[in-house]
Structure 1
Amino acid sequence: MNGLLTFFVLPLMVSAQSARTGGPTLWNHTVMDKLKHELLAHYDKFTRPAHHNNTTVVNIDLNFKHIDLDEMSSIFTVYVWAKMLWNDEKLRWNASDYENINLLHLADHEVWQPDITLYNSAQGSEIDHYGNTHCLVYDSGQVLWVPPAEFHAFCQIDLHYWPFDTQTCSLTLGSWTYDGEQIDLQIEEGEAELEMLHNNSQWEILSVEKKRNEKFYPCCTEGYIDITYTLTMRRRSEAYRTVVITPATVVILLTLAAFLLPSHAGEKIILNGVTAVIICMLLLSFSERLPEMAYRPPLIILFYGSCLTMVAFALIESVVVIRISKNYSAHPLPWFIKQALSGWLGTVLLLEPPPSMQPSTLGSMGEEMRDNADDQHDQQHIISSPIGLSHKDWLHFATAIDRIFLFTYVFVFLIMIISFHI
């Protein structure tokens, strides 16, 4: 019964009090509420806050917080605090009429805001870059809005010198619907603000350039204003040195080591095969890290691709040399080759004199002719015969081929290192 009385009597008491005071009792009715109510009573946030023949000047600046670059999708991501300042002629008041209040906090959806959009956005139809933060409105009509923003922009990435590359990406901001006679974008003088930039483990910002542009499009006679921020970044390559330089050094040494083995050693084929497998594994690893690029492919890919080709030729050379070194035929080495190897060519290749010209040929070549324990008896028989002397000449010739390929590969690798900047 008491509950029913409270339900019916309390509204009657409130109505009676309202009738005595002349209106409803507003428990939160302050001067700030009065100011906000009078400012926004007939305010249209969808209409530009100026006369149609007046230009709204918007000062814009970006305070960079963090950057990221996705090489696979060629998308540049930037986290900033966007600072925008403009004058709203409909949000002016006399501070003395409102107890000297000269600053009002309004939500971003309550006032007009310039439709500043990222022109080279990679987000498709989603163009809401800014967070929902309040605006600071001053009695003079100035509106300051500093929302956190996240921009995703397309960037033409050049990975030619990966991982020692430098990338240049840009952000182009402008009004989507207003031309330059309606909204004039201005930038603050001086360098871009980077003091709040978080330390990036992968990229180092070298420079940030900002420029105001006025462009004319075929559709319209009026010019459109945009602000372009151009960022130049360098990849922090310290962690990549072990991943790139060390394997490249190992591949070069293994390829050259195959030519230093005895010409009749079958391990030459095994060593070249292992080197080829290592290169293929590295190329597969890089294919997962890097996108497929038809324009200026990474030099590291070209380097390992060239190394794989060179190892293939080295493998063929090893087969030929082993075949020559195991030539047991009675045919002697052609005299002009023997003469060349005993002359200046042998000196350049750092070869010993041909076995046929050494005084103790038969005794000195006995140890070199042993491949393994299985054919030791056959080799001793060959060495002690006239055929053995011819065989040693062919071994000398096979060694000369190894030396020619060794010096050629050293020269080619030096050229590749200089060209590819590895």
Structure 2
Amino acid sequence: MTLTFICFLLLIVGNISCLESEELQNDQHKSNESFAEFLDVNNARYELSDAGNQTSNHSSDTKAHTCSYLDVLNYLNFTKNKEMYTLTRPVKDHKQKTNLYLVMVVYAILDVRVADQTFIVYVWIEMVWKNEFISWEEEDFCGISKVIVPTDTLWQPDITIEEMVEKDKAPPSPFLQISHEGYTFYRNDKVVISTCKMQVYKFPFDIQSCNITFKSVLYTDEELQFHITEDNALLTAWSKEVMDSQYEWEFLNQSAHKKTVHYFGDDQTVIIYTIKMRRKSMLYVSNFLLPILFFLCLDFASLMMSNSGGEKIGFKITVLLAVTVMQLLLNEILPFTSRRIPLIVVYCIGTFALMLLSLLEAILMKYLAEKDSASQDRKNKNGSGLKEEREIEKGGPIHDEMGDQISSIYKEDSSSSQLTEIFLAVEKVSDELGKMKKFFLLSSKKEEVEPGYWTNVTNKFNTIFSIFYITSVIVFLCTLFSVWTSDSD
């Protein structure tokens, strides 16, 4: 009896277990169907999100899975394992080099100060390197392929600009971007105040080339390897496309190359960007070169002035002082460290020398003319009195002869009053003729005075000097401007 009861209990428990097992299997099947339905809905949401966040056609009771950037950061353990991302180079093997890609684009040429050899430019800089500790699958985070994080959360290369003489006052970019493949992108804009060795030999028709050199402060070639864009035409096109201001310069091209240097016992690679530009010279031509040329033309015109007076010398001195003032203005523009004398200085000095030579010639001609005039005055004082008396005495017999004739007539008929009147009238006319003869003799004598010896020498020398002066100026200016506008340095 007891055995029968135990068997009955076992049978009941077995049936209950079977029922529970069937219910558990049914529940698990339902759960699997619900999870599969959830995945299908989630995949549908993800596909719609990639297609442009279009409206879902599924029923409103279907729940979609959402992802945030914080999920990616938590997956990467940014908050818990911060030291791994900030303290050292992001490589798993210390022998592995970090490849750094660097690109610079010129946005604006702000200033080029020739006097203190300073180049001020506004540039955009982009650096890309790989962090081997960063990677995630896009599918696991709703297609998130990139995340923007603060710059202090990741390691950055210690890149500096070698020619920079003043620290950039603008704050650096506070963020950088990481991709799901581990690449880190950092973009920053800088106002670079750098030194530049100016070549002012052909100022203001000069072409300047200024370098901006990027290098690491501590990392050597065994740790950091630079990569650049070798297509210089592409770099130039990028800069010309975005360039906003060029100041008084015309941007020509931009080039980049790498060079290995040996600093402090270590080999380091530096990236040198060369910016080539041409000065816009029209303002200097109109405000400086042409006025000096006009002063030279005025000096040409002074060659036609008389050498006897002092007006010619005073005029030449005034023009010479004007050129001196222009030279003082030029002194404030050009640097003091130029190895060769700039052509614009040669232009000013050459013009000044030619005008000074013309002034000395005018002084010499005036001296010779005054010397000849003084000698002529002495001759006139000594011999003019005797010659005048002789010429006048030649006219004396005529007057006496007429007087004798009139006296004889008067004696023959002294009783006639008419003859008396005629005699008085003729005598008066005779006196007037004598005075007129004396006047014409003196006038003809002055007109017949021939120029002196030094006057002839002055006229010949002045003609020869004028031809020489004009020829010298033309040859000087043609030679200077041919060198000025040539392409060779």
TM-score for the superposition, normalised by structure 1: 0.74
Is the counterpart of residue 413 in structure 1 residue 473 in structure 2? yes
Q: Which amino acid aligns with 1:43?
A: K
Counterpart-to-counterpart distance in 1, 2:273 and 2:169: 19
Match of 1:83 in 2: 126
Equivalences for residues 132-143 of structure 1 within 5 A? 132-143=173-184
CA distance in 2, matches of 1:293, 1:250: 30
2 CA distance for matches of 1:207 and 1:382? Answer: 81
The answer to whether the 8 Å contact 2:288/2:326 transfers is no
Larger relative contact order (CA 8 Å, sep ≥ 6): 1
Partner residue, 2:81? 42
Cα deviation, residue 246, structure 1? 1.5
Does residue 1:210 correspond to 2:247, yes or no? Answer: no
More helix by share: 2
Letter of the structure 1 residue corresponding to residue 359 of structure 2: L
**Contact between 2:115 and 2:335, CA under 8 Å: does it hold in 1?**
yes
Displacement of 1:243 after TM fit?
1.3
Aligned residue among 49, 56, 65 for 2:98: 56
Task: From 442, 453, 456, give the equivalent of 1:396.
Answer: 456
Q: How does 1:251-400 map to 2 (within 5 A)?
A: 251-326=295-370, 327-330=372-375, 384=445, 388-391=449-452, 393-400=453-460
Give the share of equivalent positions with the same residue, in percent: 21
SS in 2 for 1:159: coil
The separation in 2 between residues aligned to 1:312 and 1:215, in whole angstroms, is 53
- CA drift at 1:164: 0.9
Q: Which runs of 4+ in 1 moved over 3 A?
A: 94-100, 126-130, 381-388
Separation in 1, partners of 2:132, 2:150: 18
Unaligned runs of 5+ in 2: 1-65, 377-441, 485-489
When Rg is computed on C-alpha atoms for both structures, the one with the higher figure is 2
Letter in 1 for 2:353: T
Counterpart AA for 2:132 = E
Q: In structure 1, what residue type is equivalent to 2:106? A: F
The residue aligned with 2:165 is 122
Question: 1:31 — aligned with what?
Answer: 68
CA contact (8 A) 1:77 1:151 kept: yes
CA distance in 1, matches of 2:198, 2:71: 55
Given that 1:263 and 1:399 are in contact with CA atoms closer than 8 Å, whether structure 2 keeps it comes out as no
Corresponding position: 1:109 with 2:152: yes
AA aligned to 1:213 is K
Name the counterpart of 2:395: none
Q: CA deviation at 1:248?
A: 2.4
User: What is the letter of the counterpart of residue 303 of structure 1?
Assistant: Y
| 3-state DSSP of counterpart to 2:128 | strand
Aligned-pair CA distance for 1:390: 4.0
1:196 corresponds to which residue?
Answer: 242
Tell me which residue corresponds to 1:148. Answer: 189
Report if the CA contact (8 A) 1:130-1:148 is conserved.
no
- Matched residues, number: 342
Inter-CA distance 318–128: structure 2 relative to 1 (3 Å threshold): closer
Which 10-residue stretch deviates more, 61-70 or 86-95? 86-95
Q: Aligned pair in 2 of structure 1 residues 325, 82: CA closer, same or farther (>3 Å)?
A: same
Aligned mates of 2:322, 2:305 — CA distance in 1: 20
Give the aligned partner of residue 438 of structure 2. none
What TM-score, normalized by structure 2, do the two folds share? 0.65
1:241-291 deviations in Å (ceiling 9; x for gaps): 211332122122122222221232322112111111110111121122223
CA distance in 1, matches of 2:325, 2:449: 44
Per the TM alignment, residue 211 of structure 1 is displaced from its structure 2 partner at its CA by 0.6
Distance 1:210 1:382, change over 3 A: farther
Give the unaligned 5+ runs of structure 1. 1-28, 332-380
Alpha-carbon displacement from aligned partner over 1:344-376 (angstroms, at most 9, x marks no partner)? xxxxxxxxxxxxxxxxxxxxxxxxxxxxxxxxx
